[in-house]
Chain A
Amino acid sequence: QKEVEQNSGPLSVPEGAIASLNCTYSDRGSQSFFWYRQYSGKSPELIMSIYSNGDKEDGRFTAQLNKASQYVSLLIRDSQPSDSATYLCAVNMFMDSNYQLIWGAGTKLIIKP
């Protein structure tokens, strides 16, 4: 069974602090990893993709990948109330002769002013 696991939350973080979201995955051979943000009533939108071990920074967002430990995380610095949303982790896995995006259930993040 190929799985992606996330803590469902809610994760409550004070405004201005760092929010840390984590995701673990079961397929050691996975190579591509994505973080999406989904506001209530809206579609998921891509925040970041990461393919190599280490950190990847984009503005206030940093994705971290550790393939040996099979986890990927998303850090949000200087959290803003507008960051309140559900964050979805997606992992590209090879299944049944095709690559498939496997999704975590999402972590609900609440930024408290």
Chain B
Amino acid sequence: GAGVSQSPSNKVTEKGKDVELRCDPISGHTALYWYRQSLGQGLEFLIYFQGNSAPDKSGLPSDRFSAERTGGSVSTLTIQRTQQEDSAVYLCASRIGGSGNEAFFGQGTRLTVV
């Protein structure tokens, strides 16, 4: 597609359930980022994939969070046993290579845990 695509746009889930958020980056972009943004707050880095390198998972807030990127393209962010504090907008961004290039964002997934 022409841009970064995220699905679903909105997700309401019950506390304790698992959720999967999907990101389809721009074709050819080898770098992919996941961020979390709570209302009125800045971007919170979660995880970074760059080509075939081991992902930088240093931003994942707990072991309930995991992400994978299959075939260097689509990425899935999984949150297990969701908690109310997980409610936020989850943003995915991709860019060409690892240096000097702009990142482009998807429209985000708004997650609400009730």
Report A's interface with B, CB cutoff 8 A. 31-32, 34, 42-46, 49, 51, 88, 90, 92, 96-101, 103-106
> Which of these binds chain A: B16-24, B61-69, B71-79, B100-108?
B100-108
Report B's interface with A, CB cutoff 8 A. 33, 41-43, 45, 48, 50, 53, 56, 91, 93, 95, 98-108
- Judged by DSSP, the binding face of A is strand
**Residues A96 and B105 in contact in the complex (CB < 8 Å), given A32-B99, A88-B43, A101-B33:** no
| B106–A43 CB distance below 8 A | yes
Residue of A nearest to B107 (CB): A43
| B105–A104 CB distance below 8 A | no
**Residues A46 and B98 in contact in the complex (CB < 8 Å), given A88-B43, A106-B42:** no
Residues of B within 8 A of A88 (CB): 42-43
| B104–A96 CB distance below 8 A | no
